[in-house]
Homo-oligomer: A and B are copies of this chain.
Amino acid sequence: MILHVSTWPEIERFLSASKTVIIPIGSNEQHGPTGLLGTDWLCPEIIAHAAEKLAAEQGEPVLIAPTFNIGMAQHHLGFAGTISLRPSTFMAAIEDWVMSLARHGFERIYFLNGHGGNIATIEATFSEIYARYSYRGEVCPFALKLTNWWDLSGIAKMCSVMFPTGHGSHATPSEIAITYAAYPDQVRDVVPDPKIAPNGPIREAADYRARFPDGRIGSDPTLASIEKGQQLIDAAAISLLKDAARFSAEPVPPKAVS
């Protein structure tokens, strides 16, 4: 079930069967000379929608929220087209998404993330949200979970087999392959120079651009292909359903308010 093409009575019915919702979350930022600016939000969206389709076919529907498409990408602001939230803004926005969904009775809120630079802020936000309850000594009625699509079971191994060298950490062939599979008319043929990009620490945008002139970190995106992308999507979709099911089924201890 895709939330934004459903009606509210349909969501209400879904809630009587399941309390879990999956939110694709990413970032809109430069991905080197061949990667799409939307790569980091398109990947979790593509995987989540593939999983949704699979689940529907299996008769065990899952619910996918709209994609949270702008994340924390301050270090990429030196490259045109990047749109970033400050961490503090990102936190407030995630909090509002969560409190909206919790208001309807969702008890398991699962973020499928597509951007490494989001992780710290999302986790800090989870603490900010939980803290509302912790200071008051109240029981929080929902649980939050963050999973990066590349950490889904089996994906890291598949990537290392597909891309033994030149995977890198930004504008990677795996993420670019996924977008190429979903948007086959958006494949770019540019060959970046050097073929494998440099590595280094990540700081502010001016420093980033000086270290990584075309935006990539450690990657050779020419290794990406539509076929590899499709393989990754298929595997990730299956793993996502398993991971979300485990989360949904996780027992909660009897909590006492002190």
Contact = CB atoms under 8 A, between A and B. Distances in A.
A88 B128 contact: yes
Contacts of A143: 201, 203, 207
Contacts of A101: 83
Interface string A85-108: 111110111011101110111000
A82 B188 CA distance: 37
Interface in A120-155: 120-121, 123-125, 127-128, 130-131, 133-140, 143-144
A144 B68 CA distance: 23
A225 to B, nearest CB: 17
A29 to B, nearest CB: 9
State which size class the interface on A falls in.
Answer: 35 or more
Interface of A: 3-12, 15, 28, 30-38, 41-42, 65-70, 72, 74-75, 77-89, 91-93, 95-97, 99-101, 103-105, 117, 119-121, 123-125, 127-128, 130-131, 133-140, 143-144, 183, 186, 188, 201, 203-207, 209-211, 215, 250, 252-258
